[in-house]
């Protein structure tokens, strides 16, 4: 003998449960908003830090190249020059 399969829910009953659940969630949300205005602290989602965007002309991947190339000329930023001078001081 195989066990009997559970019968499906009546769709009207299911929709009624969903409506009831949504109504309760809405009431809880309104209650939280009222509590918030009363001075209670709510938990907030932490925002993820977005990575800094690199310049369009920089080479992706490993930083083996200093600066940027434009029209066959290498341009160095202040940060690139500082990297070079720091490396020389360490030697």
DSSP code per residue over 3-24: PPPPPPPPHHHHHHHHHHHHHH
The pTM of this model reads 0.34
The pLDDT score that the predictor gives to residue 17 is 94
Which residue carries 């019968």 as its tokens?
7
The pLDDT score that the predictor gives to residue 38 is 64
Please state the domain extents for the chain: 8-38, 63-91
pLDDT band at 9 (very low <50, low <70, confident <90, very high): confident
Would you say 30 and 22 are in contact if contact means Cβ atoms under 8 Å apart?
no
pLDDT tens per residue, range 80-90: 888 888 877 77
| Cα–Cα dist 90/82, whole Å | 12
pLDDT tens per residue, range 30-83: 988 887 766 656 667 777 777 766 666 655 555 567 788 888 888 888 888 888
- Burial classification of residue 83, based on how many CB atoms lie within 10 Å of its CB (0-12 exposed, 13-18 middle, 19 or more buried): middle
């Amino acid at each position: 003998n195989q066990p009997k399969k559970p019968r499906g829910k009546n769709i009207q009953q299911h929709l009624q449960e969903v409506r009831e659940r949504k109504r309760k969630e809405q009431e809880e949300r309104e209650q939280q908003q009222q509590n918030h205005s009363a001075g209670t602290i709510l938990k907030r989602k932490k925002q993820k830090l977005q990575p800094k965007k690199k310049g369009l002309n920089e080479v992706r991947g490993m930083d083996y190249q200093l600066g940027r190339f434009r029209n066959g000329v290498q341009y160095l930023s202040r940060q690139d020059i500082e990297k070079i001078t720091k490396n020389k001081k360490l030697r």
